[in-house]
Amino acid sequence: MRKVLPALLAVVGSLVMGLPAHAAAPGPVYAPEHSVADPGVLLSGGDFYAFTTGPAGRVSRGDTASGPWQGVGAALDLTTPPAWMDTSRDVWAPDAWQTSAGFVLYYSAVAKDFGGQRCIGVATASQAGGPYRPIGDTPLVCPGARHGGEDAVPGRPIATAGVIDPSPFKDSEGRRYLLYKTQQIPSTLRMVRLGDAGLHWAGSASRELLQRDGIIENPTMVQRGSQYVLFASRYGYDNCSYATVWLRSTDRWNFATATEHSLMTSAGTGLCGPGGADVTPSLDGGWRIFLHGWVCGTGTSPCTNSQITDGVPHRRVLYAAILNWSADATPSVGAFL
């Protein structure tokens, strides 16, 4: 009994902390001294570019999904910032793709005179790694008539809420869209149609895809035949409960009745808060999923909730894994890289 009890306590303790007792956590592919949070990943010219949260946003480049990775610099050139943007605050969750306008980046930034809430702007560059220069003095997405946002986010549940987590999506017919989240609770995920260049909305109001009483954010959409698969992050980002979920629908505009499935949790991966995920094709013709998770101290050991609560220094690092698809468009995570 003396030998069994410590083992039992170890299992119970690991479950309480939200980490599995049966397997070692995978290591990150990129873990610099600063946080690598909310990755939006672009594959271009045989390299991966990860756009992450930080001052003016951050760009990192990987020769392969597993690395080696290195910092490129700031995502945005804010020498001449747009009139609506408060440049004293971090840029959140930028993401980019290539269109007829070159490389186009979407970013969420605090808007002036908006109570700390955010709007979504657009910037362009001639190279995938930037720097990206904001276009125009008005945001692409900004609630109400504030700052002249092209998409005014009609019908949002909280009138004072801003918008974050922009994520571009192109369907099988080449039509372009932008997904994003409305801040505050209840959380909603929305989508707006864009023009072919991806710089402006196409004239139709954005629509709500789904709503949650709690937190749902970081939307990413993939089309698989007639199915649309929506990935998102659930729960609070600042602890180990943060998780990645997915939903599937034949209607790109409606996930309200779709079943929500867990894709990655702390208990299933050994990571602390596996979220902020983005999905991209890979160099070998398959798919990869990139995400962040919390590590504590100066190394790369996943945090426990108690460490975060106790104020142990912690930061987010970048993980990558193989993403598999079944014939019915069910995603599953394979080996971590």
* Residue pair 194/200 in contact by the 8 Å Cβ criterion: yes
Do residues 51 and 39 touch, judged by C-beta distance below 8 A?
yes
> Could you tell me whether strands 261-264 and 272-281 are parallel, antiparallel, or unpaired per DSSP bridges?
unpaired
Residues annotated as catalytic are 38, 217
Non-local CB neighbours of 156 within 8 Å, separated by 6+ positions: 143, 182, 188, 190, 208
**How many Cβ atoms sit within 10 Å of the Cβ of residue 9?**
10
Contact 34, 314 (CB under 8 A): no
DSSP state letter for 2? T
Kindly state the DSSP code that residue 175 receives in the 8-state scheme.
-
Residue 117 CA to its chain's centroid (Å): 18
Beta bridge mates, 108: 92, 120
3-class secondary structure, 331: strand
Query: Does the CA dihedral 64-35-183-258 come out positive or negative?
Result: positive
User: 319 by DSSP, 3-state: which?
Assistant: strand
Cβ-contact 290, 277 below 8 angstroms: yes
Distance CA 26, CA 169 (A): 29
